[in-house]
Amino acid sequence: MFPARRFYTVQLPAGPLSLGERCLVMGILNVTPDSFADASPVVDSLSAIDRAIRMEEEGADILDIGGESTRPGTEGVTASEELARVLPVVKTLAERLRIPISVDTYRAEVARAAIVEGASIINDISGLRYEPELATVVARSRAALVLMHMRGRPKSMYAEAVYHDLLGEVAAELKASMTVAAGAGVAAERVIVDPGVGFAKRPSDSYGVLAHLPTLASALDRPMLVGPSRKSFMRSALAGRPAPERDWGTAAAVTAAVLAGAHIVRVHAVREMVQVVRVAEEVRTAGQRAGG
């Protein structure tokens, strides 16, 4: 009934991360004053550390820390500001958490410093389009790399959301990112892909990506990370609710992703979405037993 989920082992500096037995939950920790999705933004290191520890207790398998908002229309911040927000949190949490730490950045300078402080995954929303040298930093550190599909910059990305073959173009552009990573020495075993739900995509495109994840997974043959959490593509379906009130919609999108075979879902509400993932996994298992 449901597509098979391929098994992968992603190599991290501290050891392998097994993907495929169940969908993992990546908790989002935005250390920014202007996060689009947080009702109570985290603006200081102590609050961020407390929230991260709580996410691990709630069942997060991976923590993703970001120091720059990528909401539509944002101008971005300087590298020095991003470093000031992220590094103290990474340094402390690397000593206190048992789960891997990912840092959401496209900057080589930030990635290099974060890896030194204990990050083992770099999550690049640009798929190496903004700073291709980021791939060299990752290759030298032996960290893992998430390549997300994106066009343009957050400020103007919807202007480039024009597709004649949505799945084919997303797959081709992610393959191009994978080629850049490989050329810099990033082993395929360290790469995870993200189709970029909500980024440079109209709502119909984001729903199309969710509905056809197995096609993308087959074309790319890498673990699939999906991040629908509280995204604006759900706004019309949810009667215009603001981002912090979209967790029920997020639960539906996460369920769809799990049933379609996603390896990781990236979410804000960890406690609630862990429950969603666990039930969706039971449905997947039952469907595969019945179909087998």
Domain ranges within the chain, ordered by starting residue? 8-291
Q: What angle do CA 121, 47, 107 make, to 5 degrees?
A: 35
pLDDT in the model for residue 102: 98
pLDDT in the model for residue 208: 98
What pTM was computed for the model? Answer: 0.95
pLDDT in the model for residue 32: 85
Q: What is the DSSP string of 188-215?
A: GGGEEEE--TTSS--HHHHHHHHHTHHH
3-state SS, residue 127? coil
Residue among 153, 201, 222, 266 flagged as catalytic: 266
Q: Report the candidate in 99, 89, 147, 157 with the shortest Cα–Cα distance to residue 122.
A: 147
pLDDT in the model for residue 173: 98
Question: Does 175 qualify as catalytic in the annotation?
Answer: no
Question: Does 266 qualify as catalytic in the annotation?
Answer: yes
What is the residue-level pLDDT of the chain in tens, covering all 292 positions? Answer: 899 999 999 999 999 999 999 999 999 999 987 555 554 555 678 889 999 999 999 999 999 999 998 766 667 789 999 999 999 999 999 999 999 999 999 999 999 999 999 999 999 999 999 999 999 999 999 899 999 999 999 888 888 999 999 999 999 999 999 999 999 999 999 999 999 999 999 999 999 999 999 999 999 999 999 999 999 999 999 999 999 999 999 999 999 999 999 999 999 999 999 999 999 999 999 988 776 5
8-291: what CATH class?
alpha beta
**Distance of alpha carbon 105 from alpha carbon 107, whole angstroms:** 6
Residue among 51, 231, 246, 284 flagged as catalytic: 231
3-state SS, residue 286? helix
Q: Where are the alpha helices (DSSP H) in 67-165?
A: 79-96, 108-117, 134-141
pLDDT in the model for residue 158: 87
